Amino acid sequence: MKPLFQFFSSLKLTVVLLSFSLILIFFGTLDQVQYGIWHTQELYFESFLVVWTFPEHAPLGQHLHWIRIPMPGGYLLGGMLLINLLAAHFTRFKMSWMKCGIFLIHSGLILLLISELMTDILAVESQMPVDEGGTSNYSQGFRENELVFIDRSHPEHDSVHTIPASLLKPGKRIDVPNTPLSIRTVRYHGNAEIGRATSGSPAESIATRGAAVRMGIIVNPKPETYSEDEINTVAAFVEVFNGEDSQGIWLVSNVMDERFPPQMVDNGNRSYEIALRFTRYYYPFEIALIDFKHEKYPGTEVPFNFSSEVKVTHQDSTKNQKALIYMNHPLRYEGLTFFQASFANQDKTSIFQVVRNPGWLLPYLSVLLMGLGMCAQFGMHFFKFLGKQRR
């Protein structure tokens, strides 16, 4: 037991783990050229093991593409560092004033590691485009999708029944929540090209109902993209059952949006609109965009400021408020952060990034601890050094 404890608490292990972190971060930066930030983050920092491959399109790529370097992923290294740190504090450290700096730095570090883990697991990012003069009460993910059945029979509100697209595995039967319906995914494409069948192309489509049949839409699968400025066109063939009776197979896709006529599923007494769309997050409040400004430096195209004047109307009217969202000044509201991310439509539409990150305060706390610790630690060293010099 003791040698094991010694191993886990040793400074050597710290140095080794830190060196591996250095390597991991370096390759995790390089691979962003290929996979984009978001996917690389999953591969490298939210994983236990990762293998780096020499990119094919880099200089000398054809010759060196066989090179592969395995390395521990972020979760493994973070976890090990945490254990190492805790073990070291239990075994080696005697609490004393001389050590308080190190102790503070390390507790800050532990907090930072935990907060990063929390962010990975709990944080949700989405976008909310709002037109000038318009309102919105939901935001949209830009990577995750959902399959929805919308019941529009109620005069005042729609009921939306959703299944996350990540559950759409071919062959699997899933009940649609709160409806008599269930579905079976026939085919699922993470990215595809969707177009109309022309006389030349093989009109291969397994859909038996809906727009795909009416308009002769066909699907050509293609590899998923990780680029920051492209989206994946997700497409799925879904068989819908009412009880045990198959109603047919529909083609759904996140590009078949409001511009397409709705595809309806009828189970005799109720009809549902079926669609695949970017995951939506609904809020108990509405954001109205009063004015969007895009200012440039005189005589240039360099942006000087983007700002959105908004009005928030909450179901609980005591929470209503007005706000100006601009660069470096997001709106924090109901546990969400709205910041000015982009714009479209000749400066008539403002796009907000909406972030829900329950752990957002932790880094601040850890910063405080580490800052204090550093000052104490290096301050003591420095004064000791000064004392020596004087003698």
Query: Does 5 engage in binding with other proteins (CB under 8 A)?
Result: no
Query: Does 125 engage in binding with other proteins (CB under 8 A)?
Result: yes
Neighbours of 104 (CB within 10 A): 20
Q: Which stretch binds other proteins (CB under 8 A): 136-144, 213-221, 259-267, 357-365?
A: 357-365
284 residue type, one letter: P
Q: How far does the chain reach from its first CA to its final CA, in angstroms?
A: 47
User: Please, which residue, 210 or 373, has the CB nearer to other proteins?
Assistant: 373
Phi and psi at residue 332, in whole multiples of 5°? -100, 120
Measured CA to CA, the distance from residue 232 to residue 61 in angstroms comes to 26
Query: Does 121 engage in binding with other proteins (CB under 8 A)?
Result: no
Measured CA to CA, the distance from residue 113 to residue 5 in angstroms comes to 22
Binding-site string for other proteins from residue 53 to residue 72, where x marks contact by CB under 8 A and - marks none: --------------------
Cβ pair 162, 289 in contact under 8 A: no
Query: Does 198 engage in binding with other proteins (CB under 8 A)?
Result: no
Q: Which stretch binds other proteins (CB under 8 A): 48-56, 113-121, 200-208, 217-225?
A: 113-121
Sorted by sequence, the CB contacts under 8 Å of residue 206 that are 6+ apart come out as 186, 187, 237, 249
Token look-up 């250095």 returns: 22
Q: Compute the least distance from the CB of residue 265 to other proteins, in Å.
A: 38
Of 158-187, binders to other proteins (CB under 8 A) are none
Query: Does 371 engage in binding with other proteins (CB under 8 A)?
Result: yes
111 residue type, one letter: L
Q: Which of 155, 171, 223, 298 touches other proteins by CB under 8 A? A: 298
Q: Which stretch binds other proteins (CB under 8 A): 176-184, 197-205, 284-292, 327-335?
A: 327-335
Sorted by sequence, the CB contacts under 8 Å of residue 282 that are 6+ apart come out as 137, 138
Token look-up 């965009």 returns: 289
Q: Compute the least distance from the CB of residue 52 to other proteins, in Å.
A: 14
Query: Does 21 engage in binding with other proteins (CB under 8 A)?
Result: yes
Phi and psi at residue 160, in whole multiples of 5°? -115, 125
Q: What is the contact surface with other proteins in residues (CB under 8 A)?
A: 10-12, 14-15, 18-19, 21-22, 25-26, 28-30, 32-33, 36-37, 40-41, 44-45, 115-116, 119, 123, 125, 228, 295-300, 302-306, 327-330, 337-339, 353, 355, 357, 360, 363-364, 367, 370-371, 374, 378, 381-382, 385, 389
